[in-house]
Structure 1
Amino acid sequence: MSKNWLEENANLQRSQLNSYVNNKVKRIDLDVLARICIALNVEVGDLIKLQRNKGEL
């Protein structure tokens, strides 16, 4: 699979996809996340893992 394939199958702009690929997203767009999950046939939990910093609730 390539970024071009995902861009087309998730109906994303290249800049959107690059932000996610390069971990530059400050706020996750749930619509974008849903389209990526559908294109990849995965669940959200397969893509995102909650990581807590020491001292956080």
Structure 2
Amino acid sequence: MDVEERKQTTSTITRELFMRMFDDPFVMAFMTFYEVEPEEVEDKVDEILEYLEKKTEAAEG
């Protein structure tokens, strides 16, 4: 698997993981119970994806 394939696979797995997580009623109840704002979670997800992209770019180069 080359770097580009690995990058796409990582992004796909990460997106799929978060999509499944947010479809889970328990996770949504947990977020509600602890008053976690969806925007905060979305920002954190974006931050994680940026980090992964930077790590992948560093590995490429």
Instruction: Identify, as 1 or 2, the structure richer in helix.
Output: 2
Instruction: Say which structure, 1 or 2, has more relative contact order (CA 8 Å, 6+ apart).
Output: 2
Query: Under a length normalisation based on structure 1, what TM-score does the superposition of the two structures give?
Result: 0.30
Query: Under a length normalisation based on structure 2, what TM-score does the superposition of the two structures give?
Result: 0.29
